[in-house]
A and B are shown apart, each in its own frame.
Chain A
Amino acid sequence: MHPALSVVIFTSFAGAGYGMLFLLGLLAAAQHHPADLRFNLACLVLTFLLMVVGLLASTRHLKHPERAWRAFSQWRSSWLSREAVAVMLTFVPAGVFALAWLVFVRLDGVWTLFPLLSALGAVAVVVCTAQIYASLRTIPEWHQPLVLPLYLAFALATGTLWVNAVTWSFGVTAPFAPVFALITLVLAWGLKLLYWRRIDGLKPASSTASATGLGRPGGVRTFDPPHAGTNYVMTEMGFQIGRRHASKLRRIALGLGFLLPALGCLVMILAAGPLGILAGWLAAAAGLAGVVVERWLFFAEARHVVMNYYRSQ
């Protein structure tokens, strides 16, 4: 599948934003954060920045973004529509949560409902994003039970890294925070290694023989394409990445997304002050960059069954 930059940026950045929203919602409801208005402000600005960059990138994928409002109508059948609805619905409690958090610094009583609803909305958005891909039978690499937990785990891991970076910047050093980040990193990348092993061993159910209904498997081969040039189906669905290229990118993704942030978390546990703060921000940036590479590969390594019509496999 063609890895469109707009969708890669959307799922990775918005994923981190919703991961932050989820964690902040829980921390705010539990009143487990520094009683500092500037902390709340910094967290919220970063969260909304990540979410908005991602959502704006997603509209770049549309040929007619002025018709985007129509995407709220088909939530009964379409995961993309459900995602659009979840995004909009989540802005309601998140908006109230943000305002209340900036007014009251710490939330209690009925106000804790809004951070909790925001956390719930964040989960719903990421579930919808993952299901858009996981529900497509035509792309065996995406139609996997691991895809949903992967999207959730990466959102949580990257969100945690950003929250930690802000927390350290305000001089609050709770050793559990980097440990929690390490746990989410191990979980997310552990699942990813499992996923990579799974898709490397995939036996395609479809072939040129089943796509055309002609001959025994292996007995039919493409003779001539329908046209000399290219077309939308070929450029969108026919993107293929070389095996060596992919394994190099997997190592880059692991290095950026796992090793560097893990190292950053260890530094944060050992060192407060400027070194810990620097490590926190570098870990967050590297973690997100690693997920961008991982997301690019998620597309580039996926093979659509329609290509059975175009080349013998």
Chain B
Amino acid sequence: MTSLPATPPARKLGLVIDLDTCVGCHACAVSCKEWNTGGYPAPLTDQDPYGAGVTGTWLNRIHSYELEAEIGPAGVEEVGRTIYFPRSCLHCDNAPCVTVCPTGASFKREEDGIVLVDEDKCFGCGLCAWACPYGARELDQGSGTMKKCTLCVDRITDQSLEEAARVPACVQACPASARHFGDLADPDSEVSRLVAARGGYDLMPEMDCAPTNKYLPPRPRRTGNRGQGEAPRLEPLAEAGGFLGWLDRVLAD
């Protein structure tokens, strides 16, 4: 059923992505592809994989952006910097991709809010991808069905895995701990506390999708007196005595 759950899910599983610590290594994207091409949405096909026009289905894409320096009357107030920006499904509360689906393939789980596609029902019309502001859905040209982040639903619920491994593949792969997984409906969860402490925010709030995933902003950089005048001059060393002092005088002449 492609209506949204009548009552909001009691748990809202999702990701918190820290743009301050993401180093743009793409390990999350690669491990996502590796896990999911054999998991719930399998396969994630590639077209012309070894040719010049390679393209394929990925559930996580890592962009990079440049922030311009902010220069005020007092000099540089915020230095310019590069931000790495992982982009994937945000598992929205008010998911337009679910309600537009004509076949019943797209759905939002009542128990934990995860947005999924039933690959056996999808007929590949692509309307859900049009409805999503975040580009989270890609129509797999090999299978002819819509693919999206599953939050590794077949992994986080797998009781045969040890508990530490029951997290999405992207979270486990991140070497910078920039990705956090948990229940965002619980105000005391680690992820909710992180969002509260760091000012986690929604992407494109004007689209009214009420995304579950939150992004943590880059921390402000210390600017010091950068950009203001010259560096302090070096002071000459104290004059040395004895043998080294004699040597210094002889060489300096």
A residues neighboring B (CB under 8 Å): 1, 61-68, 70-71, 73-74, 76-81, 84, 132, 135-139, 205-206, 208, 210-215, 219-233, 236-237, 304-306, 308-310
Size class of the B contact interface (CB-based, 8 Å)? 35 or more
Tell me the nearest residue of chain B to A61, going by C-beta. B125
- B99 touching A211, Cβ below 8 Å: no
Which residues of B lie under 8 Å from residue A304 when comparing CB positions?
Answer: 130
Known A-B contacts A74-B102, A212-B65, A305-B204; the reply to A223 vs B123 at CB < 8 A is: no
> Do the beta carbons of B66 and A221 come within 8 Å of each other?
yes
Given A64-B122, A67-B123, A80-B127, residue A138 in contact with residue B139 (CB < 8 A)? no
Grouping DSSP codes into helix (H, G, I), strand (E, B) and loop, the B interface class, with mixed when no group exceeds half, is loop
Write out the residue numbers on chain A whose beta carbons fall within 8 Å of the beta carbon of B124.
62-64
The 8 A-B pairs with the shortest beta carbon distances in the complex, nearest first, are A63-B124, A63-B144, A81-B102, A70-B103, A306-B135, A226-B61, A80-B102, A67-B123
Verify A210–B206 contact, CB threshold 8 A.
yes
Task: Answer yes or no: B58 CB below 8 A from chain A CBs.
Answer: yes
* Complex contact B131–A138 (CB within 8 A): yes
Asked if B40 is an interface residue, CB under 8 A from chain A, the answer is no
Q: Which residue of B lies closest to A135 (CB)?
A: B100
- Residue ID in chain B nearest A82 by CB atoms: B102
Instruction: State the Cβ distance, B185 to closest chain A Cβ, in Å.
Output: 21
Beyond A73-B102, A80-B125, 4 extra complex contacts between A and B, CB < 8 Å: A63-B125, A67-B123, A223-B82, A308-B204
Q: State A211–B121 Cα separation when bound (angstroms).
A: 31
* CB contact between B145 and one of A63, A223, A306 (< 8 Å): that residue: A63
Minimum distance in angstroms from B149 CB to a CB of chain A: 13
A230 to B138, CA, bound (A): 12
Q: Mark B136-167, 1 if CB is under 8 A from A, else 0.
A: 01110100110000000000000000000000
> What separation, in Å, do the CA atoms of A138 and B141 have in the docked complex?
23
Distance between B139 CB and nearest chain A CB, rounded to angstroms: 5
B129 near A236 with CB under 8 A, answer: yes
B201 within 8 A of A: yes
Q: Known contacts being A136-B131, A210-B205, A233-B138, is A71 close to B63, with CB within 8 Å?
A: no
Q: Which residue of chain A has the shortest Cβ distance to B58 in the bound complex?
A: A231
A138 to B96, CA, bound (A): 10
Asked if B132 CB lies within 8 Å of chain A CBs, one says yes
13 contacts between A and B (CB under 8 A): A73-B102, A74-B3, A74-B101, A74-B103, A77-B99, A138-B132, A210-B203, A211-B203, A221-B66, A221-B68, A223-B64, A226-B62, A229-B53
The answer to whether B102 touches A78, judged by C-beta atoms less than 8 angstroms apart, is: yes
Asked whether B1 lies within 8 Å of A74 as measured between CB atoms, the reply is yes
The residue of chain A having its C-beta at the shortest distance from the C-beta of B99 within the complex is A77
Q: How far is the CA of A140 from the CA of B233 in the complex (A)?
A: 58
Contacts of A79 in B (CB 8 A): 100
B2 & A78 in contact (Cβ 8 Å cutoff): yes
Contact B83 A214 (CB under 8 A): yes
Instruction: For the complex, give the distance between the alpha carbons of A236 and B201 in Å.
Output: 28
